[in-house]
């Protein structure tokens, strides 16, 4: 366990911000945590849950004197927050974030970063469909990847310190460019969320099948999409608005492949269907082999499975 920072400031205390606070407490990664959230209710809850030592009514107050500042609010809020906090940042501080897109974060934050502050964007690939300060837990980042996207001229020592921080939270750390991050995440995270939101919304609009039947027979597959589609609407609105090009590129490919499946079904081409499904099954096996999910049937939920 490496202790790189004395004072950590967390801006935005929802699922990710509160999980970081828990991980910092549990692993004793700082002497002091200060925090800021938008509403009085979240600020009060953060104190009540002892997530922070001090809660501030402005983001500028929360970052004052901090060695590590982590933006944990929806990415659409970063530009305004950056303008507010930059004058209050101490020289030598590391400014990072957890946003699910990286190119737009660099676009919105970098122009405001003063000389002497190390800006290293980041994204822990860990989450749940829950949100808010009560949703967090220290183990969220355990054995999950955290991607850092330092800019070409980033200070290697600052990158090392941030890497050590995420490792102390239990994560494995990978470095890549913001552009590559956005492309990878478009297919592994953003498109799956879009598909889940769409399938749930299609089911909600069906006329021939009642909504009670959709719920009753959801274990046939629909249920798993509803978990993803229950994710925070503000966060996901901001993701799609800020990773437009990569998502549209992946959506184009997805639509082509969907048309191929549609064609195979129409023409009774079982061989094509079988081959595509077999290849997909292999991907699932590889995810389990990489320790990124449980091998237990039905995600370890237990109980009889309905197909
Ligand atoms: P969340 O649970 O909804 O929490 C968001 C937090 O940001 C809340 O404390 C909220 O304060 C605060 N906030 C909202 N708007 C703000 C603003 N304009 N200025 C300052 N604070 C503001 O969200 P989350 O799931 O933790 O996501 C936070 C970030 O992590 C996002 O950038 C997201 O892309 C990224 N991320 C999420 C996941 C995931 O699975 N959820 C995974 C990896 C990364 P109030 O409660 O007071 O409104």
CATH number of the CATH domain containing 258:
1.10.3660.10
Domain identity same for 187 and 162:
no
Domain identity same for 154 and 232:
no
Domain identity same for 161 and 49:
yes
304 assigned to some structural domain: no
Q: Is the pLDDT of residue 103 over 60?
A: yes
CA of 72 to the centre of ligand 1 (A): 5
pTM: 0.94
306 assigned to some structural domain: no
The pLDDT-based confidence of 303 (bands split at 50, 70, 90) is low
Domain identity same for 162 and 193:
no
139 assigned to some structural domain: yes
Domain identity same for 23 and 161:
yes
Domain identity same for 188 and 152:
no
Q: Cα 77 vs. chain centroid, distance in angstroms?
A: 15
Q: Is the pLDDT of residue 200 over 90?
A: yes
Domain identity same for 88 and 199:
no
Where is the domain boundary, 176, 207, 237? Answer: 176
pLDDT of residue 140: 98
Domain identity same for 16 and 57:
yes
Domain identity same for 172 and 258:
no
> Could you report the per-residue pLDDT of 214-229, keeping only the tens digit for each?
889 988 899 999 999 9
> Could you report the per-residue pLDDT of 258-299, keeping only the tens digit for each?
999 999 999 999 999 999 999 999 999 999 999 888 888 878
Testing ligand 1's pocket by substitution, the residue of 73, 126, 242 carrying the most ligand atoms inside 8 A of its CB is 73
Which atom of ligand 1 has the smallest separation from the CA of 77? 18
262 assigned to some structural domain: yes
* Structural domain count, the chain: 2
232 assigned to some structural domain: yes
- Residues at CB less than 6 angstroms from ligand 1: 12-17, 37-39, 42, 72-75, 77, 81, 98-100, 123-124, 127, 131-132, 232, 235, 239
Where is the domain boundary, 176, 207, 239? Answer: 176
Domain identity same for 77 and 159:
yes
CA of 265 to the centre of ligand 1 (A): 41
Domain identity same for 131 and 236:
no
Testing ligand 1's pocket by substitution, the residue of 10, 13, 14 carrying the most ligand atoms inside 8 A of its CB is 14
Domain identity same for 127 and 98:
yes
- Domain span at 219: 181-289
144 assigned to some structural domain: yes
134 assigned to some structural domain: yes
294 assigned to some structural domain: no
The pLDDT-based confidence of 156 (bands split at 50, 70, 90) is very high
């Amino acid at each position: 366990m490496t202790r790189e920072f004395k004072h950590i400031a967390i801006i935005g205390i929802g699922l990710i911000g509160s999980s970081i606070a828990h991980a910092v407490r549990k692993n004793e990664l700082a002497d002091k945590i200060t925090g800021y959230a938008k509403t009085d209710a979240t600020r009060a809850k953060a104190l009540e849950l002892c997530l922070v030592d001090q809660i501030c009514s402005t983001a500028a107050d929360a970052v004052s004197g901090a060695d590590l500042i982590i933006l944990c609010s929806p990415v659409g809020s970063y530009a305004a927050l950056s303008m507010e906090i930059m004058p209050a940042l101490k020289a030598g501080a590391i400014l990072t974030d957890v946003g699910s897109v990286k190119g737009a974060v660099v676009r919105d934050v970098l122009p405001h970063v003063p000389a002497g502050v190390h800006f290293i964007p980041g994204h822990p690939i860990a989450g749940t469909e829950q949100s808010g300060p009560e949703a967090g837990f220290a183990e969220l980042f355990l054995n999950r990847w955290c991607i850092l996207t330092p800019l070409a001229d980033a200070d290697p020592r600052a990158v090392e310190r941030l890497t050590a921080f995420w490792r102390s939270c239990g994560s494995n750390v990978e470095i890549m460019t913001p552009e590559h991050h956005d492309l990878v995440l478009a297919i592994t995270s953003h498109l799956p969320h879009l598909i889940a939101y769409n399938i749930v919304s299609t089911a909600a609009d069906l006329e021939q099948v009642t909504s009670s039947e959709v719920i009753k027979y959801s274990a046939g597959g629909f249920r798993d999409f509803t978990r993803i589609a229950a994710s925070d609407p503000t966060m996901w609105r901001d993701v799609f608005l800020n990773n437009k090009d990569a998502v549209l590129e992946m959506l184009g490919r997805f639509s082509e492949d969907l048309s191929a499946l549609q064609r195979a079904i129409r023409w009774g081409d079982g061989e094509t269907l079988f081959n595509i499904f077999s290849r997909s099954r292999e991907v699932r096996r590889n995810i389990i082999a990489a320790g990124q999910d449980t091998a237990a049937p039905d995600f370890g939920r237990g109980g009889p499975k309905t197909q």
